[in-house]
Amino acid sequence: MTGNRQKRGILYSIIIISLSLIITIIVMYNHNKEISLQEFENKGETGEVYSPEVGYPSSDDLWLLARLVSGEARGEPYQGQVAVAAVILNRVRSPKFPATVAGVIYQPHAFESVSNGQIWAKRPSAENIRAARAALNGWDPTYGSLFFWNPFKKVSKWIWSRKIVQRIGRHVFGI
């Protein structure tokens, strides 16, 4: 009896160990599966256009911006996604925030999705990328807003002291 039980115990532990190994491998594999930059590099044909800003966000920022849109505005209407991306770029141009896209996105405690890792949880959708690109090309439905928040979620009191400009989808945008 005991011998049998021991054997069974060994069998179970082997099964459990191998299962957890498989799960670990799957998790690790998914973690390492990165989106190739090529997906984002579908650059367009460009004609000449006057764009005087020095240090204006380049298409290299597209990838990071699309990530943030995916983390912060998933499920929002397309225009709301453009608006979120536009807020990031407005911050880049503002003296009150860091001067690069990465600086703004990774500013300590600036974005929930960066703090909780959502920014890395899912691939940006084609729509997220399109929205990020539109913002990089100068579309801004928020009139230069520097903040956005979801009024249905618990947010700091401080954020409500901002002047609300516009509401798109579930987000309000403010200066």
Partner 1 sequence: MKKKKITYFVLAVLLGAALLGAWNYYNRISYMQNALEAEYQRSFFDLVKHVENLDVLLSKSLVSSAPKGNIITLTSIWHEAENARASIDQIPVGLKLQQSQKYFAQIGDFAYTLAKQNVEGKTIDKKDWDKLLELRNQTRKLNRELHELQNRIASGRISWGNMDKTGIKQKISKTTPEPMGELMFKIDERLKDEAPTLVYDGPFSDHVEQVKPMGVTGDLVSREEARDKAERFIDNPRGIDYSIVFKGDVNGSIPAYSFIIKPPGAAGDENILLDISKKGGHVIWYINPRGINQPKITLKDAIEKAENFISSRNYKQMVATGSLREGDVITVTFAHKQDGVIIYPDFIKVSVALDNGEVIAFDSQGYLFSHRARNLPPPKLSEEEVRKRIKDELKIERIRKAVIPSPSKKEIFCYEVKVKFNNEKYLIYINAATGDEETILQVIESPSGTITL
Nearest approach in angstroms of CB 63 to partner 1 is: 15
Nearest approach in angstroms of CB 157 to partner 1 is: 5
Nearest approach in angstroms of CB 164 to partner 1 is: 7
Residues 6+ apart with CB under 8 A from 141: 79, 82, 83, 86, 166, 168
Residue closer to partner 1 by CB (options 33, 74) is 74
Nearest approach in angstroms of CB 168 to partner 1 is: 7
Sign of the C-alpha dihedral computed for residues 126, 132, 137 and 139 taken in this order: positive
- DSSP 8-state assignment for residue 174: E
> Dihedral (C-alpha) 52, 55, 57, 63: value to the nearest 10 degrees?
150
For residue 160, CA distances in Å to 79, 102, 148, 173 come to 23, 25, 10, 11
Look-up: residue for tokens 């690109």? 133
β-partners of residue 147 are: 174
Residue closer to partner 1 by CB (options 18, 107) is 107
Residue closer to partner 1 by CB (options 33, 96) is 96
Q: Which stretch binds partner 1 (CB under 8 A): 15-23, 26-34, 64-72, 96-104?
A: 96-104
Of 130-159, binders to partner 1 (CB under 8 A) are 130, 133-134, 137-145, 154-158
Out of 31, 49, 117, 152, the only residue in the binding site for partner 1 (CB under 8 A) is 49
> Dihedral (C-alpha) 24, 30, 32, 33: value to the nearest 10 degrees?
160
Nearest approach in angstroms of CB 73 to partner 1 is: 13
Residue numbers at the binding site for partner 1 (CB under 8 A): 42-54, 77-79, 82, 93, 95-99, 103, 107-110, 115, 130, 133-134, 137-145, 154-158, 163-168, 175
